[in-house]
Amino acid sequence: MVGLDPLIHPPTRLQLVTTLSAVSEAEFTTLRTALQVSDSVLSKHVSALVDAGYLRSRKSVHAGRRTTWVGLTDVGRQALRDHVAAVRQLIDMVD
């Protein structure tokens, strides 16, 4: 009835997935800077969402630099849409 997704709702998670929704992938480091959280925190949120099937991560090497790329899966994108719809249903009552 309410439909808020507890995997997505918490502030850091919401920032993470909404940030990712705008792009196909983002670098771990970029995300950490954008969200202003520690390595460990981002790593844990990412792996929780990977476990849930919402995110996918891959490692790549460019010019001797190893980076981890993170992106939404189709499942995650849909879950986000659903969550956003639920949030809108609540907040659109306001004003």
Partner DNA sequence: GACTCTACTTTCCAGATTGGCAAGTAGGCG
Partner DNA sequence: CGCCTACTTGCCAATCTGGAAAGTAGAGTC
Determine contact, residues 49/30, Cβ cutoff 8 Å: no
Return the one option of DNA, a second copy, none that residue 58 interacts with (CB less than 5 to 8 A, by type).
none
Interface positions, 4-43, toward DNA (CB under 7 A): 6, 10-13, 27-29, 37-41, 43
Which of 50/87 has CB closer to a second copy?
87
Q: Residue 18 interacts with a second copy (CB under 8 A)?
A: yes
For residues 44-83, which are near a second copy according to CB under 8 A? Answer: 80-81
Which amino acid, one-letter code, is at 89? Q
| HEC per residue, the chain | CCCCCCCCCCHHHHHHHHHHHCCCCEEHHHHHHHHCCCHHHHHHHHHHHHHCCCEEEEEEEECCEEEEEEEECHHHHHHHHHHHHHHHHHHCCCC
> Which residues lie near DNA (CB under 7 A)?
6, 10-13, 27-29, 37-41, 43-47, 57, 59, 61, 63-68
> Which residues lie near a second copy (CB under 8 A)?
2, 4, 6, 9, 11, 14-15, 18-19, 21-22, 80-81, 84, 87-88, 90-91, 93-95
